[in-house]
Amino acid sequence: MTLPPIYVLRHGETIWNVERRLQGRRDSALTERGHAQAEAQGRLLQALLKDIPTPDVYCSPLGRTRQTAQIALQGIDLEVKYDARLQEVSAGEWEGRTRPDLFEELGMEDGPSTEFTLFTNAPGGESVAELQARCTSFLNYLTGPTVVITHGVTGLMLRALALCLDDSDMRQLERGQGCIYRLQDGSEICLKENEVRI
């Protein structure tokens, strides 16, 4: 897959992130720290736009990504296009439940690499194949430098596809907030400020 440069932003921290609840397609508001993270992404974008003045900007239609986009793009004159292919993976019946409770109930170890399994195996949720198909469709749609504002699990899949990673390597990727993942020529660099202040 030959792709243009892509700049992936995960939404800022939300109340449910702090509570360790599965959000999926449901929403909770950004925390004060989440606002600060989106502001940091905005400053990083301002610097990037000196080299890429007119990228396409695509955003998940969910509330937390819209809120992040509004903050991060303040003062930046770019049209935001909302694309359902960027929304978070559906966690079906488990949305709103806490990760520790689910891990205990399922007898799974609590950790970043097992969270992907949790999200993609939820009753009534979205499968790995479905997530991969819509992320592939989105990436194939891109024609030039693109800013993408999305979510933790969907962002993992987009980045893994762009980097040609297998499932195991994908699960090891960071899912940072307040930073920007620059994907270019098959490699990734995480752009971030030294510290996000609240």
**Domain contains 172:** yes
pTM to 2 decimals?
0.94
Print the domain residue range for 100: 6-191
**Domain contains 197:** no
**Domain contains 198:** no
Residue 151 known to be catalytic = no
Query: What is the CATH classification number for the domain harbouring 19?
Result: 3.40.50.1240
Residuewise pLDDT in 10s, the chain (198 residues): 789 999 999 999 999 999 999 999 999 999 999 999 999 999 999 999 998 879 999 999 999 999 999 999 999 999 999 999 999 999 999 999 999 999 999 998 887 778 888 899 999 999 999 999 999 999 999 999 999 999 999 999 999 999 999 999 999 899 999 999 999 999 999 999 875 444
Catalytic residue (one of 11, 39, 95, 151): 11
Domain count across the chain: 1
Number of H helices, E strands in the chain: 8, 6
**Domain contains 1:** no
Buried b (16+ CB within 10 A) or exposed e, 10-29: bbbbbebbeeebbbbbbbbe
Phi, psi for residue 81 in degrees, rounded to 5: -105, 130
Based on the number of CB atoms within 10 Å of its own CB, is 150 exposed (0-12), middle (13-18) or buried (19 or more)?
buried
**Domain contains 98:** yes
Residue 11 known to be catalytic = yes
Residue 109 has a pLDDT of 85
Contacts of 144 (CB under 8 A, 6+ apart): 4, 55, 56
**Domain contains 104:** yes
Specify which residues 180 forms β-bridges with.
191
**Domain contains 14:** yes
Instruction: Give the rounded distance of the alpha carbon of 131 from its chain centre.
Output: 13
Closest CA to 119 of 151, 159, 79: 151
Based on the number of CB atoms within 10 Å of its own CB, is 137 exposed (0-12), middle (13-18) or buried (19 or more)?
exposed
Which tokens is 97 given?
């439940």
Catalytic residue (one of 19, 32, 79, 88): 88
**Domain contains 196:** no
